[in-house]
């Protein structure tokens, strides 16, 4: 099985791990992972890494992500979404103007308290396992970065729509609940779709049915797609390629400048993500087959 990246349009009701399990069967390999967990109720872009591309997980997770969320005002739940048990309910709902007025509070670098219904571990136990047993533990705030936050609506059912761009680790459920708290009426998330992750867009994502029909091998994007914002550097000789494959630093006087590069062999094989400093190339992460 070749290595590469699958851009999956995750269906509602599936966990991210469910998707990985399905891709393992379709691709015929155990070496499959994903970048950036989506809640079961969420749909949209899930970056799935196959084979040697799993080595790029940290880079895929670091990409900025976009979401379209539905927010329901006047309802709070224990899970911070509509699938949880109701904690409070009111018919009070803000106007669009009132919502827009509080959104600037949630822009930029802010702190979030992770929800109890999340996969974060405390003392070796996942928070959602503790929550399902009726427990609750103190959670430390985490800093996240929200670079775009807009709102439209209301929809026919009264929900509003949030458009969000944010850093990894942002809980959109928590964002909805916090906006509701700021407005004094409470809120929860009623729907969620990841619209993009880095350069990977929902319009380019494939359903699991499409991947099965076409064959996983035919749907893979090359691993170097993740590093399209780095310049390419092609090695000039077999000796340089041997050194790179052995993990040895290489003098590359032809490199235009210091920085990170996508490094290729003379025949075009993507070998690694590398860094050049003072004309010397070192390995950051290799992707060639051993």
* Active-site residue set: 39
Under 8 Å between Cβ of 223 and 5: yes
* φ and ψ of 153, to 5 deg: 125, -170
Q: How far apart are CA 263 and CA 232, in angstroms?
A: 6
Q: How far apart are CA 145 and CA 165, in angstroms?
A: 9
Tokens 């087959």 — which residue?
289
Give the per-residue SS3 of 176-192.
HHHHHHHHCCCEEEEEE
Residue 266's Cα: distance from chain center in Å? 33
First to last CA, the chain: 14
- What residues pair up with 193 in beta bridges, in sequence order? 43, 68
* φ and ψ of 210, to 5 deg: -65, -40
Q: How far apart are CA 271 and CA 283, in angstroms?
A: 10
Pairing of strands 43-50, 187-197: parallel
- What residues pair up with 201 in beta bridges, in sequence order? 196
SS3 24: helix
Query: Which tokens go with 129?
Result: 């396992």
Q: How far apart are CA 270 and CA 283, in angstroms?
A: 13
Q: What letter would DSSP give residue 15? A: -
Q: What letter would DSSP give residue 43? A: E
């Amino acid at each position: 099985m070749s290595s590469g990246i699958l851009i999956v349009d995750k269906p509602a009701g599936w966990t991210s791990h469910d998707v990985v399990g399905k891709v393992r069967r379709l691709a015929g390999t155990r070496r499959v992972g994903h970048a950036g967990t989506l809640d079961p109720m969420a749909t949209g872009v899930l970056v799935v890494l196959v084979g040697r591309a799993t080595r790029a997980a940290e880079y895929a997770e670091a990409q900025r992500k976009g979401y379209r969320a539905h927010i329901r005002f006047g309802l709070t739940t224990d899970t911070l979404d509509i699938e949880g048990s109701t904690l409070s309910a009111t018919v009070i709902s803000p106007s669009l103007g009132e919502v827009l007025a509080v959104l600037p509070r949630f822009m930029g670098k802010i702190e979030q308290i992770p929800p109890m219904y999340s996969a974060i571990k405390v003392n070796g136990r996942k928070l959602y396992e503790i929550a399902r047993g009726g427990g609750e533990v103190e959670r430390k705030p985490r800093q996240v970065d929200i670079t775009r936050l807009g709102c439209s609506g209301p929809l026919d059912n009264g929900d509003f729509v949030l458009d969000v761009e944010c850093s990894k680790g942002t809980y959109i459920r928590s964002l909805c609940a916090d906006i509701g708290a700021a407005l004094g009426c409470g809120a929860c998330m009623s729907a969620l779709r990841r619209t993009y992750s880095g350069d990977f867009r929902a319009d380019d994502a494939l359903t699991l049915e499409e991947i099965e029909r076409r064959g996983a091998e035919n749907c893979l994007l090359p691993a170097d797609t993740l590093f399209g914002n780095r310049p390419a550097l092609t090695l000039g000789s077999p000796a340089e390629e041997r050194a790179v494959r052995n993990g040895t630093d290489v003098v590359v006087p032809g490199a235009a400048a210091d920085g990170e590069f996508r490094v290729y062999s003379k025949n075009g094989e993507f070998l690694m993500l590398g860094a050049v400093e003072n004309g010397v190339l070192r390995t950051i992460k290799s992707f060639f087959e051993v």
